[in-house]
Amino acid sequence: MLKGIPKILSPELLKVLCEMGHADRIVISDGNFPAESMGKDAIVIRLDGHGVPEVLDAILQVFPLDTYVDHPVNLMEVMKGDPVETPIWDTYSDIIKKHDDRGDSTIGHIERFAFYEEAKKAYAIVATGESALYANIMLQKGVVI
């Protein structure tokens, strides 16, 4: 046990977060995301009993976002014509504002299939049991100052 570390950050996930270097990316995926097939060249960590917001909040307590790119946080864009609402994105915004002074300006959107291609290049994918649609989020690591 360690003090000050969110309990949701397992030893495996902490190790991965420590191993990641500047500009490496991690995906926190919803329950529908094909984590295992997208993560064939990545480390896949399963947190099926948890939702993306609680994982995001815990990771951002120890993980610096990249300051050298416009959008170190990227969401999977909703497909045109898909009548899906994404209130979870407001939750993400609140969490990001709590951990990074740049707030919403850190957030970008990547077209769904382009997001899949970028996810294939991620260092790690955290597969959650999140049931919200379009709840996938990609974080790019910055430096600790």
Could you list the active site residues? 22, 66, 116
Instruction: Give me 82's structure tokens.
Output: 């898909």
C-alpha–C-alpha distance, residues 9 and 32, integer Å:
21
Q: Decide: 52 and 126 in contact? Cβ < 8 Å.
A: no
